Amino acid sequence: MNWRAEWKKLAAITGVFLAFFYLPVGRARFDNAVMEALHLAKWYAQEHVLLCLIPAFFIAGAIAVFVSQASVMKYLGAKANKVLAYGVAAISGTILAVCSCTVLPLFAGIYRMGAGLGPATAFLYSGPAINVLAIVLTARVLGIELGIARAVGAIVFSVVIGLLMHLIFRKEEQEKAAAQMLLPDEEVSRPLWQNGLYFFSMVGILVFANWGKPDVTTGLWAAIYAAKWIVTAGFAAALGVMLVLWFKITWWKVALTAAPVVALAMIFPEQPLVAFTAGVIGLSAFTSTDPGEAGEWFSSSWGFALQILPLLLFGVLVAGALLGRVGHEGLIPSEWVASAVGGNSLRANFFSSFAGAFMYFATLTEVPILQGLIGNGMGKGPALALLLSGPALSLPNMLVIRSVLGTKKTIVFVSLVIVMATISGIIFGAFFG
């Protein structure tokens, strides 16, 4: 008998026993933290899984199946033109307007298809950080200085972080580029413009299905919000036509999927999520049973879902338990946070960056949170630090990044975001604090 191994088992069993034995059940803060974890997980499942993550999984699966590795390497690979690669990665955030979790399947898709570490991590940061609507809302609610600083800082961050990741791991990147040179050319099954329109339709569904309600009732943003489901339906219809014409999906399968979606949209006009869910189920049904590339598309999307969803939901539970939802408390008292981010000291900016990096912010929710913190004495420097670290990172986000990049690269990426956000906050606070 291996007594060392048995003692390890006994120690693990004892540890679990003691954890349950001294579990502080019945204490108000602990019980509230458990409920906050469940509330946040419920909210996340209702607001983000169907509308954000599932479209993102389908897009990521499509990248893996329908985008040639040569194309990814040409524009985002380790040997690609740096201005083009980082420009594409940085600008993508203004188009996608996704949160720190929704960007993950897309990041995993392009990285596994051969994108260089630098452009891939620039995209990973820019996706949730450079959100036009969030920047406009920041300027309107928190002041023009913070709005401009957030916009400039996020664009600069995405490029600088990508370049630093490339330099720090340049030996691995050189080896990756050398291996890519040996790959044979892939056959192209359809023109680039067809694939481009196909991806454009899916990105349109993702963006407009998640278009947030503005704080005004007139103007362009309000008009888009009022028509968001009509626009989303238009993109979905275009996707269905393309699947029939260019991807050889039998027309009656698409029609059979579309019929209940249209019917449910008419029966439940005030509950568009019902029709959207029916569309997702129908798309999954006919792609999963297709023997051709549509079946590969579903299989790849399903693989991303299996890898990412469990980690995200676990991370959301932990984040909810520690920090709670907006306006609610978890294990960490909110007054601790408020008292730690006053002024413009190194400690205040670092704490703001660090805490923001581990919190989960849905798109646009960081603005009302900061409005409350500033009202409680938060300095402008720490406010910018949180804006530059919080939306781009979260605990659930980090768990998934680690599964894609590994522990070492994840630690470096997170550290770069926190350090740069801290420095930016100190500089901004010195001028505008």
- Residues 347-360 pLDDT 10s: 999 999 998 898 87
State pLDDT tens for residues 149-197: 998 888 889 899 999 999 999 888 777 776 665 555 555 567 878 888 9
Quote the percentage of the chain above a pLDDT of 70: 90
State pLDDT tens for residues 418-428: 999 999 999 99
The pLDDT of 105-120, averaged and rounded, is 85
* 244 — pLDDT class (breaks 50, 70, 90): very high
Mean pLDDT of the chain, nearest integer: 84
Give CA–CA dist 404/410, Å, rounded: 9
Quote the percentage of the chain above a pLDDT of 90: 29
The pLDDT of 330-344, averaged and rounded, is 78
* 238 — pLDDT class (breaks 50, 70, 90): very high
The pLDDT of 10-28, averaged and rounded, is 89
* 378 — pLDDT class (breaks 50, 70, 90): confident
* 93 — pLDDT class (breaks 50, 70, 90): low
State pLDDT tens for residues 196-231: 899 899 989 988 888 877 777 788 888 888 899 999
